Amino acid sequence: MRYREGEPVERLANHSSDGMFFGSTIYGFILGLGFVFVGLKVKQKWLMFWGAGLSLASVASWFTMM
């Protein structure tokens, strides 16, 4: 059987740890800054916009974690 019978629903899902969430946030922020830098270098506004959005979303998710 795939699922155990009688298990509470809360125990069925595996949630990510705080360290994994923090690492993903930092990785997204650094990747966003890289996109902004490359967008400035090759003069692509969509890449700068994408990088700025990713960086802002990463910062926002970091503040919601605290």
| 53 and 35 Cβ atoms separated by less than 8 Å | no
Q: What percent of the chain stands above pLDDT 70?
A: 76
Q: pTM of the full predicted structure? A: 0.72
pLDDT at 4 over 70: no
Q: Where are the domains of the chain?
A: 19-65
pLDDT at 63 over 90: no
| 42 and 57 Cβ atoms separated by less than 8 Å | no
| 32 and 55 Cβ atoms separated by less than 8 Å | yes
Enclosing H/E stretch for 57: helix 45-65
State the average pLDDT for the chain.
Answer: 85
Phi, psi of 6 (to 5 degrees): 85, 0
Bin 32: left if φ > 0, else alpha if -120 < ψ < 50, else beta. alpha
**Region 36-62: what's the mean pLDDT?**
94
Confidence at residue 64, expressed as pLDDT on a 0 to 100 scale: 82
